[in-house]
Structure 1
Amino acid sequence: MKPVVVDNNRIFRRVGVILALFLLTISIGVPLLLIFWQSVYPDGQWDWMAPIRTITGQHLSGVLLNSVWLGICVVAVTTLLALPLAWMMAKTRMGQHRWVDVILMIPFMTPPYIGSMGWILFMQKGGYLQQWVPSAASWSELFFSFWGMVLIMSLHLFPFLYLLLRDAIIRIGGNLEEAGAVHGGRAGYRFRRIILPLLLSSYGMGIMLVFVKTIAEFGTPATFGRKIGYYVMTSEIHKYISSWPIDFGKATSLASVLLSVCLVMWYMQSAMSRKFTYRLVGGKGQRSKRYSLRGGAGWLCGLYLALLLILSVGIPYFSIIAASTMKLRGSGLSFDNLTLDHYRELLSWGSVSMKAIGNSLGLSLAASTVAVIIGTGFALTIGKSSSFMQRVIDLFSLLPNTVPGIVMVVGLILFWNSPWMPFTLYNSYGMVVLTYVVLFLPYTVQYVKSSFTQIDGTLFQAGQVFGGKPLYILRRILLPLIIPGMLAGWMMTFTIATRELVGSLLILPPSMQTSATYIFAQFEQGQVSLGMAMAVVTVGMTVLMLLGIEVLNSKRKWNAS
């Protein structure tokens, strides 16, 4: 008889796939299914039309149209902001200034509701702009409108689209444009018939993310939108869950409709990506064509970049810092009205604000650590997505990034607060950590997967040839090579978790606050200076921690070299 050979690697892969599917099912799949179930099974009876009846019968169809129209307009404005900048940074010598990319990431690190509060303080009646230019009162009236809200959200989201488009333009070789020029195509014709079709795949992914993040945003509609009377789906869902009388039926109906809109958008993006995906990187290499900026063109590009930086970073952060250092808001901008008392009050030991900071740091550290452990396991299980089950795991792990956060939170509440559960996490510290992990897991999975798929399999084979056991190969070959991806995923999860608002508002225990909910509460209660001081401290701590990790990572690379 022939001896039976047991393939341990195959067994480990199967166990990993089964475990990954189980974890993704109970953490993402079941909560989303419960939303649909609750919305079509109200009062113990099937009613497939209940979500549509809720939208049309409660005068909420206008709110749905508001959300969709807001998403469309923000996509259009972000395109107008990001596409020229991406072309300039990819096709001209301006791309040599790498500090621009660093500064453009500041809006991403800034919570959206803090940016909108900064704009409100700057443009409101008697605000900082009118203190400098008293004749700017008419500008304030124009700003506090729907298009002002679109501008605020676009300035926060355009870095997403910019980075995607810039990288896509860089991958387009200059030989394609030169071939068009040889056949008589002018610059505008070459851009329209060569560059734009090659950008459609990346552009589709970018606008899908921008659209989903826009209709899923809660902070800006809750601050600026409520001020102008513009209500969207997220604010209505939050109202039905957090305000008496609580109505989970209406909340789940709205959540299921919002989820359906996002899934339709995701399907359209997938179809566009399949149709307009081209292979641009080959074995021959390529040379990117760069244009020189001389005279008026150079000045125009520099002015455009400066204006973007002022609008996206300068004005919001000036307002935030100015508001956090004012003694009396009514006294205006003057040196004798500056103080650091708000920071002293904020950082006094044992205060509510210090407890909120501690809660944010503790929750974010716990969530990012758990997410990087689970996400690494998922990424190693997914590998290069060669099998059907691996592709299913990859799709499920990305769902929280394509589903509005408030929808995911509602599903988690329904699941972990169900009466048939043997135990409940709802209204506990563990529920907050679980929610953060589920919401931000895609970042860790994608970063680690990107590092893992770049590793040549011959390295592991060489380790096996020289007698290395699986644990030894994992410790000495695999982990050192994927640690940069794990660290990047950890930093991204930590950064976003420290500023997460909508999930914290819905699932935090009654006596607990985080820095995000503290800022929101202070702004609601009129204590703007304390809220802005907390915003400066929170963003400052996050930046310092990220810089420290980057320094440690740089030292590790230097020692390795």
Structure 2
Amino acid sequence: MQAKLEPQAAATVIRQRLLLRKWDFWTFVMVIVYLFMAAFIVYPLVSLLFNSFMGKDGGLTLENYLSFFKLKYYHQALLNSFIVSGLATVLAILIGLPLAYIATRYDIKFKGLMQMMVIMSLFSPPFIGAYSWILLMGNNGFITRFIRDLGISVPSIYGWHGIVIVFALQFYPHIFLYVSGALKTIDTSLEEASESLGMTAWNRLRTITLPLIFPTLSAGALMVFMASFADFGTPMLLGQGYKVLPILAYEQFISEMGGNPAMASTLSVIMIFFSTVILFGQRYFVSRKNYSMSGMRTPVVKKLKPLPKVLMTILAFIPACISILPQLTVLITSFLAKSGPVFHRGFSLDSYKEVFFRVPKAILNTYSYSVLSIIMMVVAGMLIAYLLVRRKSKFTALIDSIIMIPYIMPGTVLGISLIIAFNKPPIVLTGTWIILVIAYVVRKIPYTIRSSTAILHQLDRSVEEASISLGVPPMKTFFKTTGRLMAPGVISGAILSWITTINELSSTLVLYYGATATISVTIYSEVFTSNYGTGAALASILTLTTLLSLIIASRLSGGKGLSL
């Protein structure tokens, strides 16, 4: 009997040892990542979905969805969102595509300055652009008054057309950056062959160049559409009654009459659904054809004669100057002399004195929450990237899918889902700074993960394998070897996460309360109370921070800039 038990005991010990051997450092990391995703992505989304089926009596019902499709007030907002997002995407392509072609194919002057201006306009928050255009072309804007003094009637920036213009000028850099990258690496052999056959330049562009860069162009267009579809601040400032889904969800959730969280949840679920459909639709159209190229013959920048060079430079700088105009307007306005909310002739530091005297906590909150968030994003992003690249499995593939969900979620939706999930025991986070940091990490970490995976794909496994073979534990190998090698490449994603975090409005506006207000929320409040000077000073602080961040990123990445 004893002899029979001994082999069984030995087998049990062996199984236990094998099980423990599988549970290495990276297994624990995977478990922690899954717990984080379950708590702050899956659980809030499930709570949001469940809440959308809640009736007034507390029971489950389809009443909220039926009301959405029955009442024009609701489904018209969806149509409005598609209209402004679609038109903004088309206009952004019309601006960004020619600009990218000129910048990559011709040796225009001051190309680096132009690219920096374009990038600056992208990383400035849309609501600051909207606020700036109010100062310029609002009912009493500087340009509006000047043109009216000439006896010319000009419409203000308010309304759906203003939303479309601001969106296009804000987001066309997505098209520019994506298409520029594609045009720099495109194989020119097909273009040269068509040219030798007598095809005109326009036909070459239409039938060869554009189809070859279609996947990249569609990816940029998707970014523009998704950003416009999810944006809250611009339609809120410029809409004047023109409702889009993010605004409607916010108003349904936070209302002076008590709000309707169930309807807000329904609108949020609908936004997520259509965002997902659009994302997979873009991927489907790209996958239908083969766009691969050898990439052996990249384009040569064409040298221009003096006059065409000047004309091309002017043509390139027109959209760049118009898109950077909001930042310049905000900067100048912040130094205008004022008495209360009224501006006077001359310049002063009154707006900055008022900011540091009245709302210093908002400035401190912005940077402290963002620093804490970016530290968590960098560490977590590098660890998750390692799992995705070096520990490929069904479990890591699922992580990649779940962690990217917030990437397509509007900030308003994320904020609403977190409040619904953590507004009652056992975990109450609503009204704390912790929920803001969680929202920032969950929403912005995809940038850091993508930049981390990109650099990790370029690193040879042999270095870390050699370290482990010499007896260094996997955890120590990662932090002392792999992590250090990854650090330069992670910077671009980290800086991008930092910039978008300090400028975040939509999720912050839902989640904050008085003591946790940030700069972006305070700007929003100042604009709505017509304190344009204070709002301009705060916006200038954000703009200066963004510019310094871009310069640091460019220096640390060896002049390569940021990668989207």
TM-score normalised to structure 1 length: 0.89
Q: In structure 2, what is the equivalent of residue 321 of structure 1?
A: 331
Residue pair 1:171, 1:281 contacting (<8 A) in 2 also: no
Q: In structure 2, what is the equivalent of residue 303 of structure 1?
A: 314
The reply to whether residue 338 of structure 1 matches residue 337 of structure 2 is: no
SS in 2 for 1:243: coil
Residue pair 1:107, 1:156 contacting (<8 A) in 2 also: yes
The reply to whether residue 17 of structure 1 matches residue 30 of structure 2 is: yes
Q: In structure 1, what is the equivalent of residue 364 of structure 2?
A: 358
Q: In structure 2, what is the equivalent of residue 414 of structure 1?
A: 420
Residue pair 1:85, 1:162 contacting (<8 A) in 2 also: yes
Residue pair 2:191, 2:208 contacting (<8 A) in 1 also: yes
Q: How does 1:253-272 map to 2 (within 5 A)?
A: 253-272=266-285
Q: Deviations over 1:396-444 (max 9, x none)?
A: 2222111212112211111112x4x422111111111111111111111
What is the CA–CA distance in structure 1 between the aligned matches of 2:253 and 2:301, rounded to whole Å?
53
The reply to whether residue 170 of structure 1 matches residue 184 of structure 2 is: yes
The reply to whether residue 106 of structure 1 matches residue 110 of structure 2 is: no
What is the CA–CA distance in structure 2 between the aligned matches of 1:69 and 1:476, rounded to whole Å?
51
Q: In structure 1, what is the equivalent of residue 3 of structure 2?
A: none
What is the CA–CA distance in structure 1 between the aligned matches of 2:22 and 2:176, rounded to whole Å?
41
Residue pair 1:130, 1:137 contacting (<8 A) in 2 also: no
SS in 2 for 1:140: coil
The reply to whether residue 185 of structure 1 matches residue 199 of structure 2 is: yes
CA change 1:529–1:166 in 2 (3 A) is same
Q: In structure 1, what is the equivalent of residue 286 of structure 2?
A: 273
What is the CA–CA distance in structure 1 between the aligned matches of 2:342 and 2:522, rounded to whole Å?
25
The amino acid of 1:535's aligned partner reads A
Residue 446 of structure 2, aligned match among 442, 446, 467 = 442
CA change 1:180–1:527 in 2 (3 A) is same
SS in 2 for 1:337: strand
SS in 2 for 1:383: helix
Q: Deviations over 1:491-539 (max 9, x none)?
A: 2222211111122211113333211111111111121111111111232
Q: Deviations over 1:336-370 (max 9, x none)?
A: 522112212222xxx33111101111111111111
CA drift of 1:66 comes to 0.5
The reply to whether residue 60 of structure 1 matches residue 66 of structure 2 is: no
TM-score normalised to structure 2 length: 0.88
CA drift of 1:91 comes to 1.6
CA drift of 1:180 comes to 2.2
Residue pair 1:240, 1:246 contacting (<8 A) in 2 also: yes
Q: In structure 1, what is the equivalent of residue 262 of structure 2?
A: 249
The amino acid of 1:208's aligned partner reads L
CA change 1:385–1:465 in 2 (3 A) is closer
CA change 1:512–1:466 in 2 (3 A) is closer
- Sequence identity (%): 22
Once the two structures are overlaid, the 10-residue window that deviates more, 533-542 or 443-452, is 533-542
Q: In structure 1, what is the equivalent of residue 249 of structure 2?
A: 237
Residue pair 2:26, 2:387 contacting (<8 A) in 1 also: yes
SS in 1 for 2:108: helix
Residue pair 2:449, 2:493 contacting (<8 A) in 1 also: yes
What is the CA–CA distance in structure 1 between the aligned matches of 2:129 and 2:151, rounded to whole Å?
21
SS in 1 for 2:348: coil
CA change 1:548–1:304 in 2 (3 A) is closer
The reply to whether residue 459 of structure 1 matches residue 488 of structure 2 is: no
What is the CA–CA distance in structure 2 between the aligned matches of 1:44 and 1:330, rounded to whole Å?
48
The amino acid of 1:520's aligned partner reads Y
Residue 174 of structure 2, aligned match among 140, 148, 160 = 160
CA change 1:10–1:139 in 2 (3 A) is farther
The amino acid of 2:323's aligned partner reads S
Residue 401 of structure 2, aligned match among 371, 377, 395 = 395
Identify unmatched segments of 5+ residues in structure 1.
Answer: 556-561
The amino acid of 1:258's aligned partner reads M
CA change 1:475–1:85 in 2 (3 A) is same
Residue pair 1:78, 1:157 contacting (<8 A) in 2 also: yes
The reply to whether residue 77 of structure 1 matches residue 91 of structure 2 is: yes
The amino acid of 1:344's aligned partner reads K
Residue pair 2:102, 2:316 contacting (<8 A) in 1 also: no
What is the CA–CA distance in structure 2 between the aligned matches of 1:449 and 1:136, rounded to whole Å?
57
What is the CA–CA distance in structure 1 between the aligned matches of 2:210 and 2:339, rounded to whole Å?
49
Identify unmatched segments of 5+ residues in structure 2.
Answer: 1-9, 560-564
Residue pair 2:355, 2:538 contacting (<8 A) in 1 also: yes
CA drift of 1:544 comes to 3.5
CA change 1:69–1:430 in 2 (3 A) is same
SS in 1 for 2:368: helix
CA change 1:79–1:383 in 2 (3 A) is same
What is the CA–CA distance in structure 2 between the aligned matches of 1:61 and 1:34, rounded to whole Å?
23
Residue pair 1:66, 1:232 contacting (<8 A) in 2 also: yes
Q: How does 1:518-533 map to 2 (within 5 A)?
A: 518-533=522-537
CA change 1:178–1:359 in 2 (3 A) is same
Q: In structure 2, what is the equivalent of residue 558 of structure 1?
A: none
What is the CA–CA distance in structure 1 between the aligned matches of 2:341 and 2:456, rounded to whole Å?
57
Residue pair 2:120, 2:546 contacting (<8 A) in 1 also: no
CA drift of 1:329 comes to 8.2
Q: Deviations over 1:134-184 (max 9, x none)?
A: 456646316444222211111100111210111111121121211222344
